[in-house]
């Protein structure tokens, strides 16, 4: 499957999905004016990937900040990954946060309670 890449901007995260190198990462700030529109192609790519995924998918979230509308789209990404896991695929979520950023840790913790996936919390 082809790579998927979006460069980071002031209001949108860097998104890099590279199955060949086993890299799946969303990083930076997510404050797009239209989160549904921004994440639509991300969700389409992941849905296509979910039809023939790697044996193990490790998704790295290295977000500095995200708004409420982005949180809903992140939840959709996690739900898609959860469906992969329900079909027997191994899926791991690495949630990175800065020690002083208790909000980002708490956000990841809330997601981990809503989604049945293995979450690892990694302090930067």
Contact 18, 3 (CB under 8 A): yes
Quote the domain boundaries for residue 20.
Answer: 4-123
Q: Write the DSSP assignment of 88-122 as a string of letters.
A: T-EEEEEEEE-TT-HHHHHHHHHHHHHS-SEEEEE
Q: pLDDT tens-digit profile of 57-102? A: 999 999 999 999 999 999 999 999 999 999 999 999 999 999 999 9
Number of domains the chain is built from: 1
> Rounded mean pLDDT of the chain?
97
- Check which CATH number belongs to the domain holding 42 and give it: 3.30.750.24
Which 3 state secondary structure label does DSSP give 8? coil
pLDDT at 119: 97
Burial class of 112 by CB neighbour count within 10 A (0 to 12, 13 to 18, 19+): middle
Rg of the chain, C-alpha, whole Å: 13
101 φ, ψ (degrees, to nearest 5): -95, 80
């Amino acid at each position: 499957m082809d790579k998927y890449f979006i460069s980071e901007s002031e209001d949108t995260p860097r998104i890099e999905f590279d199955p060949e190198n086993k890299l799946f990462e969303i990083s930076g700030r997510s404050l797009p004016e239209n989160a549904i529109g921004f994440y639509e192609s991300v969700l389409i790519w992941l849905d296509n990937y979910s039809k023939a995924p790697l044996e193990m998918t490790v998704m790295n979230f290295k977000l500095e900040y995200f708004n409420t509308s982005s949180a809903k789209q992140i939840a959709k990404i996690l739900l898609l990954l959860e469906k992969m896991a329900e079909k027997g695929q191994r899926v791991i979520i690495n949630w990175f946060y800065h020690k002083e950023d208790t909000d980002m840790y708490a956000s990841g913790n809330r997601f981990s309670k809503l989604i049945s996936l293995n979450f690892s919390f990694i302090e930067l």
